[in-house]
Structures are given as C-alpha cells and as structure tokens.
Amino acid sequence: MDITFNKVSDFKKGIFTELLSDAYSFDNNIVATYKEKWLDDDEFFFDNPDIADYCGFISTLGDEIIGFVMCDPRNMPEYAIVGDNCIITKHKGKGYGKLQLQEAINRFAQKGTKKFYVSTSSGLTPAQKMYESVGFMRLDISKLEPWQIEQKQDIYYRLDLCTK
C-alpha cells in the first residue's frame, strides 16, 4: 500500500494534537510540555486552512492517517523550518517519516526554498538518523542564530538545496 499526502483542510481540527500525542506517547514529559502548543497549532491551522495547506500535509495509508509534516515558510525563499515531522507509533521505523520529509522538501524546493532547518532532541536518535539520511548536516551549537536557540533543542540541522 502506498503512502498518500493529503491537504490538511480535508481533515478535522484536533488531528495534529492526536497524532503528536500518539507519536510521543513513549514520553509523558514531552506530551505534558508541548500539548498546549499542539492545541494552539491545531486551532491556528484549522482556522486558516489556506496556510495549513501551503505549509504541510497529512499522510495516509489507505484510509488510515499515519502522520503529518508542517513547515514554517515565513523566511522563504531563503529558508523554511521543519516544525513537525510526525508518524504515529505503530508505523514508526517503516520509512514513512523519511518519505514524508522528502515530499515536504520537494514541495518547498519547487517554491524556491534554498535551505531547510530542523531541530530535535538528543534522545530522539531515530529522528537524527532520518534527518542525516536525507542530507541534513548537523550544526555547531556554538554558532546558532537567536531564533534557533529559542527552540530549546540540543541538536540542530541544515539542508542546503541545489537551486537552478
């Protein structure tokens, strides 16, 4: 069965929080720390479907929702920031997160984006491996921009896209 990438506006408010809560169910501290932000993001994107559909998509396998990706395009074309690349627990480790991320990169590259940034936690080794497998390079933490430091993560990556 093939993965399909769908418009966010085809789904119901609450889907981001539901998927993220499942994806991070292994760590109640992450869920407790970020749940309010996830609820706020849900509210924003479903109140602004045109922005949601521009910034990301929801991934399905058949009729099953398995994840989503959402990027911040406010600094395009110079760069976009991967905000979430989420796959639910039962589908982790099957390569869907990588396919989803590659789809997002391709979509934003077509819009002229020159670079991508993403951050993650040192405890999320599978995420680190996935980012590195698609070409993201780890950044020196002593040379971060203020907006990166505000993300309060401990690993930061950049992907430079070849533009014609």
pLDDT band at 105 (very low <50, low <70, confident <90, very high): very high
- pLDDT value at residue 91: 97
Tokens of 132: 């590195």
* pLDDT tens-digit map of 46-71: 999 999 999 999 999 999 999 999 99
Question: Could you state, in order of their start, the residue ranges of all structural domains in the chain?
Answer: 3-160
**Residue 21's pLDDT is what?**
95
The verdict on whether omega for the bond into residue 77 sits within 30 degrees of 0, i.e. cis, is: yes
CATH class, range 3-160? alpha beta
- CA dist 127 and 98 (Å) reads 9
Would you state the pLDDT for residue 67? 97
The CB-based long-range contact list for 102-110 (8 Å cut-off, 24+ gap) reads: 102/134, 103/5, 103/57, 103/69, 104/56, 104/57, 104/69, 104/71, 105/134, 105/159, 105/161, 107/57, 108/71, 108/73, 108/76, 108/80, 109/161, 109/163
Share of the chain above pLDDT 70, in %: 93
Rounded Cα gap, residues 5 and 103, in angstroms = 8
- Going by DSSP bridges, is the β-strand pair 79-87/64-72 parallel, antiparallel, or unpaired? antiparallel
Confidence of residue 45 (pLDDT cuts 50, 70, 90): very high
Q: Is the pLDDT of residue 147 over 80?
A: no
Instruction: Please give the pLDDT value at position 50.
Output: 94
Res. 149 pLDDT band, cuts 50 70 90: low
- pLDDT at position 164 is 46
